[in-house]
Each structure stands twice: as C-alpha cells, then as structure tokens.
A and B are shown apart, each in its own frame.
Chain A
Amino acid sequence: MIQLKKIYKYYNTGSKKAYVLSDVSLDIAEGEFVSIMGPSGSGKSTLLHILGLLEEANEGEYLFLGENVSKLTEKKRTELHRNQIGFVFQAYHLIDELTVYENIETPLLYKGLNSSERKSRVAELLDKFNIVGRKDLFPSQLSGGQQQLVGIARAIAGNPKVIFADEPTGNLHSDQATEIMELFKKLNEQEKVTIVQVTHSEHNATYGNRVIRLKDGLIQR
C-alpha cells in the first residue's frame, strides 16, 4: 500500500544542503507491522512525517494506496488524514482543553459523522480501551500511559488503514509500554490495521514483523 521510490529530503543550512534522507526506497504492504529504528537524528521522524503526509519530500515518488501523493491539494490530503491515516505521538499531543471523550470525538467531527454515529463509535472505543470511567477527565488529570491510550483510541477512531506512531512508548515506563505494544499487536492482527512505528527499543521492535534500520538518512541493508 505504501511505495517510496528514491526519496530525498534536505534542509538548506546556509549555502549547503543538509540531507536528512537520501535515496530512500521502501515498500510496505497492507497489514504489515513495521518498526523503524536508528540512532537519534538519523531521520526516522522525518521519514514518518513524509509517510504520514505531514511533510513533502524534495525528490522522489510516493505512492499511497497506488496513488501518487507527491503533490496533493490540501483538501485531498485532509481527506486521507480523515479516512486512511492515524497518528500516535511520543508526547501524546492530546488537546488540553478537551476531555477524553471530546478528544476521541474530534476526528469523527472532522470526518462529518452525525452525532449518534459519533456517540456509538466513541462509546465502543472507550469500552474497548477500558477508559469509560475517565471519559470526562481532561488530559492533565491522566497518567502518561492513560494519555497514550486515549491517543491511540483517537488515532483509530476514524478506522484508518494505517497508523504511524513516533516513539509511542518513549515517555512511558516498561509496564505501560508493554500494554501499548500489545494493543498495537492486537490492532494489527485482529483488525488488519497496518502499523508503522519508530522505536529505540529492540524489544518493542519484536512486536512487529519487519525492521527498517536508518543511519544518516540511508536505509541499512
């Protein structure tokens, strides 16, 4: 479902181009669970952002679900964010002013679901993630692990085909991390959601079925 062909990404630092990604070519099939690993600054987040259509590559071709997405209009890209792509962040990035319930509901609002559809979908997720009792709390009232659960619930609320997760367990201790990884595994196996995660932990990488190693913007073979 994802095909990267000779992707380059650079920043203009002064007069020189600083390459963050060089000649990255990559295929990810539907239903895969891929882990991206590499040292800090090797371009993992950048790659994930390009995959998730948050940034554009400077060179190369990107086919998402067979469609060239190198130059998309804002509207088309937003369509994909609403329907096909979910994001999970290391810093959770919940909206502080919204309750747990409202955070999960937000993507559904953007998707244009009516109120009863939204209600049932949010209820289903709250139940599934075992956070019904916390639905009226604000993010600041939750622990890190709980916040990340809400982050994942929000990411899958719109039934995306793929979830991009940037160090989802980076801020959590190991018990919480395990819970999150189990959850990803379940989503991948039972609901056939494609998952691409960035991780520093070899252990977490074992939950997936493939590892891509990056160094200085190059894929290591």
Chain B
Amino acid sequence: MLRNYFKTAWRNIFKHRFYSIVNVVGLFAGITFTLLIGAYVWGELQVNKKLNHAGRQYFLQSEWKGEDIHYSITTLSPIAKRLKEDYPSLVANYYRWDGITSGVTKGDKSFREGIQLGDSTMLSMYGFELLAGNPSTALKEPYTAVITEATAIKYFGQKEALGQTISIQSFSGGKSDFTITGVLKDQPKNSVINLNGNNNNTIFIPTNTYAFFGRTSLEDWSNNSIPSYIELKEGATIAGVEKAIHQLIQTNAPDGIKANLTIRPIALTEYYLQKDNGLVKRMLYTLSLIALFILLMAVVNFINISISNAGSRMREIGVRKVLGGLRIQFIMQFLTESFVLVLVATLFALAAYPLASPVFSGIVGKSIPALSSLPLYFVLVPLVMVLLIALLAGVYPAFVLSANNTVNSLKGKLKTVKENIVLRKSLVGFQFAIALVVLIAAVIVSQQVSLFFSKSLGYNKEFVVASQVPRDWSPAGVKKMQTIRNEFAAMPQVSAVTLSYEIPNGNNGNEPQVYKSGGDSTKTIGMQALVTDENYLSTYQIPLQSGEFFDSRMQDSGKVVINEKAVAALGYKTPAAAIGQQLRIPGDPTIFTVKGVTSNFHFFSMQDAMSPIVFFNVYTAVVHRYLSFKLKPGNTTASIEAIQKKWSQLMPGSSFEYQFMDDTLKNLYANEIQLKKAAFTATVLSLIIVLLGVLGLISLSVHKRVKEISIRKVLGASVPHITLLFIKEFAAIVVLAACVAVPIAWYLMSGWLNNYAYRINLTAQPFLLPIIALGLMTLLLIVLQTLKAALANPMKNLKSE
C-alpha cells in the first residue's frame, strides 16, 4: 500500500510540475533559512557550555550605586582569590585577568594583540587543552606566555612555537622577550577568552609580570578594573557566596566603594545570553521568530496550492472510495504526497546548507556551525521538521478532500467551496501581512542605520583613518609622538593629523566628576574625558563654538575645553559665558580653566544621549593611543600606502593597522547592521515566498476560469477587463493585509526606535513604499499570468471543453 501511495504521490507531483516546483522552491527557501538560523541559535546556546564544570562556573558582575559610571564587567581584583582562600567550602577555584593591548613583534612580523595578564588557574579551571606545553606550569613564570594556535601560526608560520620567544612592548617605551610555554588549542567560543566584542585575547601572560606593563597589582583592593570568575564547590549556594562577597567587601574595600558596590555571581552558561541587557538573547528570539514566520509562509503556500488544486484530485478520491478505500487511507495518501514534497525540499536545503552558510554568517557576523559539527541527535531535526511540515501542509487538504461526499467527489464538486475561498484568502492575506511587516521593518531599520552614518554625527568621518601607536606614556614619549605626527602632517596626501587617547568609537578612558571651582564639591557632573592634542578639532572637523582649542606650544597645563552639553550641565547661559570659568574634580588639587567650547558630537552610539565632554591636553595627560589622519580627497589607496611607508620609517617594529572611521562606526553599530542585514534577508525570502504563492494561485485561478474567460471574450470583454477580474481578487487582500500590517509594524518598530536617544521620525513613507512595492509586484505577476489567457483565441478553449 505504502508503495502505491508513493507511486501516485510521485506521479501527481510530476503531473503538476509547475505547482510542485513552486511549492518545493518556497519550502526550500524556508527550510534552508530555518536550518541556518537553527544552527546559529544552537551555536550561540553552546557558548560557555563546553567549559569544565560549566554548571558551576560563575562570572562576577559589579553593580554600582550612585552617579559614578563604572564598568559592570570589572570588579575588585583581590576578591575572587580571597573567596577561594577564605571560603574553601564555597569556592573551588578562581580566575582573573587584566586586559591590555600592546604591540607584539617576531622578526619582521609585528601586530597589536589583546593580552590577558591572568591567573595560572585558567587552563586547569576551564579544561583548556594545550597543543604543546605543560598546563600546570605554563602560566607561572614571569616573562612567559601562552599563545593561541592561530597566533602561533601568525607569528611562526606553524603551530610549533614552544620555547620560542616573542617581543612585547610595555607602555613606557620598553620591550621584553617572552618565552612561549604553551600553545592553546582553538577553543569553542567562551566568555573567558572573549568576554565581549572588544576582548579578542590571543596571548596569556602570568599576572606576576604586571609591573612591566605598569599595571596595578591584583592583590590591591583599590584596583577595580579586573574581570573575575569563580568556580563554585559542588553544593555551594549563590546566596552563600553573595554573603561571603559582602563580608569581604565590608572588611577590605576602600570606604568610597564599600557602600556603592554589590557583586553578583552570574552563571557563565547564562552570562553570554544575558549580557548587555540580553542583547544576544533578543537577537536569537528575533531571528527564530523570523525563521518561524518564513517557514509558516512557505507552508501556507503549500496549503493554498493544494486546496486550489484539490478539484483535480477529487474525482480520484471519489473513485477510490467506490473501490473500497477508507478515509484514513486517503488521508495517508495525501500526507505521503506532502511528505515527498517536503522531503525533496529538505534534501535540497541540506545540500544547500554548506553553500548558504558562509553567506548567512556574513549576514549575522558570526560563524555558523557546519552540519558535521552538530551533534548526532541533530539528524532528528530535519526528520522531525519534514514530518511536522508535511503534516501541517498536508493535513488540511487531506481532511477536506476525504470528507467530501462520494457522489459530489465523482461529479468534481467540492461541497465546502465557499469556506475554502475564505480560508484561502485569509491565508494569502496572512502572508501578505507578514511580508509587509518584514518589508516595513527592513526599510525603517535601514533608515535608522543611515542616520548613524549621516552628517548628524557632529563631526566629519569622511577620509579619516586611525591607527594605534606604540605606547611610551612619558613626557618624552609624547614629545617624540608630536614630532612623528608633524612628519605625517607634512605629507602631501594628508590634510591633518591628531594624536589622542580616544577616537569617536564609544570607548573612552575616563569619566571624571566635575564641579565648579568654589561650588559644592558633592554636586558633581559626570563627564566623558577625551585626551587629545591641538589638531583634534581640525582633523575631525568639530566646530568650535567659543574661545580657543589647545595650542601646540604645550602651554595648556590646567586648561580644558568642554562641549555645549557640558556648558549646559554646568549651568552657563552661553558657550561664551563658560570661557575662563574654573572647574575642579574631587580629590584633584588642580584648578582647570575652560579655554574653549566645542559643538556637541556623537562620541558614543546614538543609543545614548550625547553627554557632557571635557577635553584634556595630551601633553599634560601623557596617555595616548591613536594617530588619526584626515586624508586629502583623491587616491585613498595610494595615500594609505604612502602613510604605511612613512610609518615603518618613523616607527620601525610597529605596524600601521589602520581603520577608516566608517569601519570604526560599523563596529560601534555592529548589532544594528546585523539586524539590518537580517531584515533584508528576511525581506527577500518572504517576497520570494509570497510571490511564488501568488504565482501559483493566479495560475490555478486562470486555469480554472479559462472557459469563463473565453466566453467573456466572445461576449466582447477586452483584455484589460479580463485582467481586472483577477486583479480584483487580490486587490482586496493586499489592502486588508496592509491594514493589519501597518499597526503591527508601527508598534514593533517604534518600540525598537525608542531604544535610541537619536532616532528617525516615523513618517508615512516607510509604510507606503513597501505597500506600493508589494502591490506593484503582485500586479505585475497577475498581468503577466492573465495576459496569456486573455490574449488566447477563445474558440480554442471553448472547443477543448
């Protein structure tokens, strides 16, 4: 019997090739997308799950009270170690690291690398395996390093690097060789090596080398810029650990911190999904929902086409009933048919997976697990999917057709035709509505993303490239950098160069509390500090509102420049009124005089309101990281090459790892860009599926009404008349779908836009454009399909009846 089902199924599929292809293509698109998203979601859920004792691994997250802005990912450096030492029944192990970035050189290869100055417990605590080296001694001796497999290949051209040395720069102009005591096997993604996007660490050095880098000891209770992890003892409770932490803070922490800091252990298995207000989790939900809806749309096509096509199958069912078939057998037969189609689509999808996954990983900006890397039980996923979709897509036609009265079936009459049309039209309407929501969302997201890159940034990002420089944070070091900067500025390809600690990428070093000199020192205003030289404004083309910016003679000690936000926050009426005013920072005896006022600009993401900014002079502050170049318009590639050449002359042993400001912004808005790309992918897919569905339905409708069309033509109907007949069928659906889609899209997207302090205003345009576009595409399909029937010789069709 089963063979018979498959045989008829196959022949029916083949006989209705066109509709089968429409179905398979739609399902294929939907299933491929679902598989990719499924694998991606799975990969993201696996983060941190592969660590040793993953269930007992915790990250210490800081919660700060008060105005002071502190990082939540760093905490008091001694606490994790003391937890283990003082509460051995609660905490089994700990790991802490101080993150730095420095220049690393081997022979003629030199790059900037993320480095963890970390505890020697890392390897054993998380079960990180070494390709070479002894895990129990690798991170013990000063001036040794463990490097990742990829880093070994990068510097040595091979994985064998044990016993070799690399040279690493300090921040005071020094350099030292580090002996490699271990090569770390590539690890699955985890929050120990990659705590967040800014921490791509490739080199691990024992904490006892901290003095070389001018860092603070990890035993010092005033050091609160250290990410820390603990492993709980089996059976230990979070409440117990929190109590222990509280006690340690109360007995050891400095007074300013005691009252303000709470440290919460967060399970590492949860941490990755929850961090940044659940950013990853929300993205996973969004993508899963999109995949679900796209798949549903493809299934809807299937149902619609099967129902429309049902007439041709009805006689067969009637005959089979007369021959002694049971209803359940017809249901099985139809399900088999839908099973075969879904199976074909799924096989195609599996075959396409390896080809589509690089494209898709480009879209989400993360790597997608290969099919072979998924666990064995994943074989069940496509299987279950095939069965489920086949059931979903086949069950309605199966039941409707098999329930029809035998005699009616033989006459080719479907009793429930009326309900059918309503159902079918609502299903098509559902598809249109989803496609519209996706389309509107894509338009709005991309409008908002263009805002991020627009003129409203407050500075000019065009032709600006920045690169980190070797660090020598001493007056002599800055002086040397100033000379180098001037050499660059003299190049014909360059119009301005600036030395600074910050570039407008949302990462700055300091958030001082500022108050008016002579005012109340407890009423401070949190500001963002930028350390720059005198060329910063000209390089980034930030307008000066009043006063002057720094000058080049290094005579600006005690002078600061603020932005208009700071002017307002401090309570001065105008920028001019702020000039010459004196400011102070609690705990610092210096009295700062305001020398100038700049316009506001977006240093941080537009998610946040622009904040008060205070500029400090690099010659006094000494710390610096970047040289930013404003190139002259023209051949950018040649200009970059020229700078590159000059760079290696002026700073041998350091590399010009430049980034255009545009790319820097792309990092800052990586999530939004990811969402934009996902929205566009979803748009393309949903359009394909909707239009396939429309194509199938119109073609069936034309096919059924071919006689009617002929009679109407004989009676004098023109071609537009006939086309209009079919357009009417769909026009109402598009309008209704729009009525449903617009409020949903408006609700979703205004919710999303509200995450941003700076957002586009929702106008009618992002709503109207998609509706018109979808309407036109549908119209075009209808006209193309009906034209053939409308133009055909009517007598031919009438005779064939």
**Does chain A bind chain B?**
yes
Chain A 80-92 near chain B by CB (<8 Å), digits 1 or 0: 0111000101000
Known A93-B315, A109-B1; judge A55-B320 contact (CB<8 A). no
A219 at interface by CB-CB < 8 Å: no
Stretch of B5-13, B62-70, B559-567, B581-589 that contacts chain A: B5-13
Residues of A contacting B: mostly: helix
Are A158 and B407 in touch, CB under 8 angstroms?
no
Q: How would residues 49 to 77 of chain A score, 1 for a CB under 8 Å from any chain B CB and 0 otherwise?
A: 10010110000000000000000001100
- Counting chain A residues whose Cβ lies within 8 A of the other chain, the interface size class is 20 to 34
Q: What 1/0 mask marks residues of chain B from 1 to 44 whose CB sits below 8 Å from any chain A CB? A: 10010011001100100000000000000000000000000000
Q: Which of A78, A96, A97, A98 has the most CB of B within 10 A?
A: A97
* Whole-angstrom CA separation of A49 from B411 in the bound complex: 13
B322 within 8 A of A: yes
User: How far does the alpha carbon of A184 sit from the alpha carbon of B259 in the complex, in Å?
Assistant: 104
Binary contact readout B740-782 vs A (1 if CB under 8 angstroms, 0 otherwise): 0000000000000000000000000000000000000000000
Determine whether B49 belongs to the interface, using a CB cutoff of 8 Å to chain A: no
A102 with B323: CB separation less than 8 A:
no
Asked if B326 contacts A74 (CB within 8 A), the reply is: yes
Contact A109 B4 (CB under 8 A): yes
Say whether B410 faces chain A, with CB atoms less than 8 Å apart.
yes
Q: Is B406 an interface residue (CB 8 A)?
A: yes
CB distance from B13 to the nearest CB of A (A): 10
Whether A159 sits at the interface, judged by CB under 8 Å, is no
Contact B407 A106 (CB under 8 A): no
Known contacts A98-B8, A109-B1, A93 near B324 by CB under 8 Å: no
Tell me if B420 is interfacial: C-beta within 8 Å of chain A.
no
The answer on a CB contact under 8 Å between A74 and B316 is no
Q: Decide if the interface of chain B is mainly helix, strand, loop or mixed.
A: helix
A145 within 8 A of B: no
How many chain B residues touch A (CB < 8 A): the figure is 24
A129 CB–B CB distance under 8 Å:
no
Instruction: State whether the Cβ of B612 lies closer than 8 Å to any Cβ in chain A.
Output: no
In the assembled complex, the Cα of A97 lies from the Cα of B327 at a distance in Å of: 19
A87 to B323, CA, bound (A): 8
> B329 in the interface, Cβ–Cβ < 8 Å?
yes
Chain A contacts for B326, CB-based, 8 A: 74-75, 78, 110
Q: Does A107 sit at the interface, judged by CB under 8 A? A: yes
Given contacts A78-B325, A109-B1, contact A93 B410 (CB under 8 A): yes
B739 at the interface (CB under 8 A from A): no
- Whole-angstrom CA separation of A127 from B45 in the bound complex: 66
Nearest residue (CB) in A for B12 is: A97
Q: Complex formed: what's the CA distance from A185 to B531 in Å?
A: 110
- Does B319 sit at the interface, judged by CB under 8 A? yes
Are the CB atoms of B320 and A87 closer together than 8 Å? no
Q: Do B318 and A97 touch across chains, with their CB atoms under 8 A apart?
A: no
Choose from A54, A74, A95, A98 the contact partner of B407 (Cβ within 8 Å): A54
Residue of A nearest to B315 (CB): A93
Given A49-B407, A109-B1, A78-B324 contact (CB < 8 Å): yes
For the complex, give the distance between the alpha carbons of A54 and B319 in Å: 11
**Measured between alpha carbons, how far is A180 from B401 in the docked complex, in Å?**
32
Distance (whole angstroms) from the CB of B139 to the closest CB of chain A: 71
Give, as a whole number of angstroms, the nearest-CB distance from A77 to chain B: 9
Interface residues as binary, B282-323 with A (CB distance below 8 Å gives 1, 0 otherwise)? 000000000000000000000000000000000110111111
Chain B residues, CB < 8 A from A93: 315, 318-319, 322, 410
What is the bound-complex CA distance between A78 and B320, given in angstroms? 11
Supposing A74-B327, A110-B329 touch, asked if A97 and B15 sit within 8 A by C-beta, the answer is yes
> Please, which residue of chain B has its CB at the minimum distance from the CB of A111?
B324
The smallest beta-carbon distance between A182 and chain B, in angstroms, is 24
Contacting residues, chain A, for B410 (C-beta < 8 A): 89, 93
A122 CB to nearest chain B CB (Å): 13
- A55: chain B residues at CB < 8 Å are 405-407
Min CB distance B781 to A, Å, is 29
Cα–Cα, bound, A78→B321 (Å): 8
A161 interface contact, C-beta 8 A: no
Question: Roughly how many angstroms separate A106 CA and B323 CA in the complex, as a whole number?
Answer: 8
In the assembled complex, the Cα of A154 lies from the Cα of B326 at a distance in Å of 18
In the bound complex, how far is the Cα of B173 from the Cα of A137, in angstroms? 90
| Chain B residues within 8 Å of A95, by CB | 8, 316, 319-320
- Cα distance, A107 to B326, chains bound together (Å): 11
Chain B residues positioned under 8 Å from A74 (CB to CB): 326-327
Would you list the 10 A-B pairs with minimal beta carbon distance, nearest first?
A82-B324, A81-B324, A110-B324, A97-B11, A107-B323, A93-B319, A87-B322, A54-B406, A95-B316, A110-B325
Having A55-B405, A110-B324, one finds 14 other A-B pairs with CB under 8 Å, namely: A52-B322, A54-B407, A55-B407, A75-B326, A78-B325, A81-B321, A81-B322, A82-B324, A97-B11, A98-B7, A102-B4, A106-B4, A106-B323, A107-B324
13 pairs of residues in contact across A and B, judged by CB atoms under 8 Å:
A49-B407, A55-B405, A55-B406, A96-B316, A97-B8, A97-B316, A98-B7, A98-B8, A98-B11, A102-B7, A109-B4, A110-B320, A110-B324
